[in-house]
């Protein structure tokens, strides 16, 4: 249920990754994928490898210098502005939220057919973005619909390896970007997609500021043992290799392990399904949502995506007039 270490493309060719272990890509639905390695690992000498420690020392020095720059200070000010005021809390729950979540999870799935996948990619290209942007826009619309909210915050994991100094460092460099999205009911869908793109672009530009630092600056009132702070859902794209891959003489293939847990109230994962389709997997906490409610959220995400990727509907339909009832295919 907690996908790990999977690389994801954000607009501008940036890379994002899953929320946990750096190497193991995962799927959802109570599953966690771990790499089965073979080859050079068997013959590796015991004990630490000095060259890795040296690379890590250089990385730490790079980080120390980076965090002292005005660039990171300005990124911190950006996050303070974006997360100012009362933060919206995702309230999809059809059940009372327990005081202490158990994180027991389940999943529902859907496949984007080749035509919708093509339209998604064309819409992303027209917006000078990757598919992450229209997918995020569609997911946000569904969350707002079921949460009866005009604002949501969706977490997006970043790999933190965009700079050359971090490219080959044996370290956990992942960070989370809280993407705060406002959905003005009178805004056309095409304009909303453009707004989402700008939000993602600005967040990526400020990604060097550690999320933990941002979290420490927020009022204590934003924290609760009943829900994760700042955001309660995330969107993660998982384009991991379909075949066994090799790195540094080590072969990797991916196997599924069922964990049965999910960290957030819900999360949407997207990954390739064959050569021209995408698989969407919506993981959710069973303490909060019934299976049918989860299926409805996923179905409405697809409905929103169909509207966002239809140029005529995207320009002529406002958020208010978009019909997101499951099965609704009209505005």
Of 32-41, 126-135, 234-243, minimum mean pLDDT range = 32-41
Domain edges within the chain:
8-316
pLDDT for 11 equals 38
How do residues 280-323 score in pLDDT, each as one tens digit?
Answer: 999 999 999 999 999 999 999 999 999 999 999 999 999 999 99
Residue in the structure block whose two tokens are 């009866």: 148
pLDDT band at 80 (very low <50, low <70, confident <90, very high): very high
Residue in the structure block whose two tokens are 């007039």: 321
pLDDT for 1 equals 43
pLDDT for 127 equals 93
Q: What is the C-alpha to C-alpha distance for residues 12 and 324, in angstroms, rounded to an integer?
A: 30
Strands (E), the chain: 8-10, 14-16, 31-39, 105-112, 151-158, 175-182, 233-237, 245-247, 250-258, 266-272, 278-285
pLDDT for 93 equals 72
Closest CA to 131 of 265, 272, 241, 33: 272
The torsion region of residue 29 among left (phi > 0), alpha (psi -120 to 50) and beta comes to left
Of 36-50, 65-79, 116-130, 177-191, minimum mean pLDDT range = 36-50
pTM of the model as a whole: 0.81
Of 37-41, 212-216, 265-269, minimum mean pLDDT range = 37-41
How do residues 167-224 score in pLDDT, each as one tens digit?
Answer: 777 677 778 999 999 999 999 999 999 999 999 999 999 998 989 889 888 886 566 7
pLDDT for 326 equals 87
pLDDT for 119 equals 98
Residue 13 pLDDT > 70, yes or no?
A: no
DSSP state of 104: B
Q: What is the C-alpha to C-alpha distance for residues 93 and 290, in angstroms, rounded to an integer?
A: 9
| pLDDT (average), residues 112-136 | 97
pLDDT greater at residue 20 or residue 80: 80
Would you say 295 and 266 are in contact if contact means Cβ atoms under 8 Å apart?
no
DSSP state of 222: G
pLDDT for 245 equals 78
Q: Residue 254's beta-bridge partner residues?
A: 35
Please state, in angstroms and as integers, the Cα–Cα distance from residue 74 to each residue in 71, 178, 183, 202, following that order.
Answer: 5, 17, 26, 12
Residue 135 pLDDT > 80, yes or no?
A: yes
Side-chain-facing half-sphere of 72: CA atoms under 13 Å: 14
Provide the CATH number for the domain formed by 8-316 in this structure: 3.30.559.30
Distance of CA 186 to the CA centre of its chain: 27
pLDDT band at 5 (very low <50, low <70, confident <90, very high): very low
For a pLDDT cut of 90, what percent of the chain falls above it? 53
Number of separate helices (H) and strands (E) present in the chain = 9, 11
pLDDT for 29 equals 39
Residue 276 pLDDT > 80, yes or no?
A: yes
């Amino acid at each position: 249920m907690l996908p790990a270490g999977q690389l994801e493309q954000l607009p501008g060719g940036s890379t994002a990754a899953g929320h946990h272990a750096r190497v193991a890509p995962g799927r959802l639905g109570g599953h966690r994928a771990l790499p089965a390695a073979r080859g050079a690992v068997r013959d590796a000498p015991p004990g630490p490898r000095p060259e890795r420690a040296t690379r890590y020392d250089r990385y730490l020095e790079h980080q120390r210098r980076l965090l002292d720059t005005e660039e990171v200070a300005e990124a911190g000010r950006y996050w303070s502005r974006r997360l100012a005021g009362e933060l919206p809390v995702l309230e999809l729950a059809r059940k009372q939220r327990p005081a202490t979540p158990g994180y027991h999870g389940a999943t529902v799935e859907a496949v984007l057919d080749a035509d919708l996948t093509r339209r998604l990619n064309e819409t992303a290209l027209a917006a000078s973005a990757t598919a992450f942007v229209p997918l995020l826009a569609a997911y946000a619309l569904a969350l707002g619909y079921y949460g009866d909210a005009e604002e949501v915050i969706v977490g997006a994991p970043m790999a933190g390896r965009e700079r050359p100094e971090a490219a080959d460092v044996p370290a956990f460099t992942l960070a989370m970007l809280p993407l705060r999205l406002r959905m003005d009911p009178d805004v056309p869908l095409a304009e909303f997609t453009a707004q989402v793109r700008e939000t993602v672009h600005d967040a990526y530009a400020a990604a060097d500021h550690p999320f933990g630092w941002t979290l420490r600056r927020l009022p204590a009132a934003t924290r609760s043992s009943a829900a994760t702070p700042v955001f309660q859902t995330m969107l993660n794209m998982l384009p991991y290799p379909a075949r066994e891959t090799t790195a540094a003489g080590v072969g990797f293939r991916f196997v599924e392990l069922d964990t049965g847990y999910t960290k957030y109230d819900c999360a949407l994962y997207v990954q390739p399904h064959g050569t021209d389709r995408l698989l969407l997997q919506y993981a959710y906490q069973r303490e909060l949502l019934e299976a049918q409610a989860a299926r409805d959220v996923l179905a409405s995400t697809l409905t929103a995506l169909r509207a966002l990727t239809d140029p005529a509907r995207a320009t002529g339909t406002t958020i208010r007039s978009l019909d997101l009832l499951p099965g609704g295919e009209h505005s």
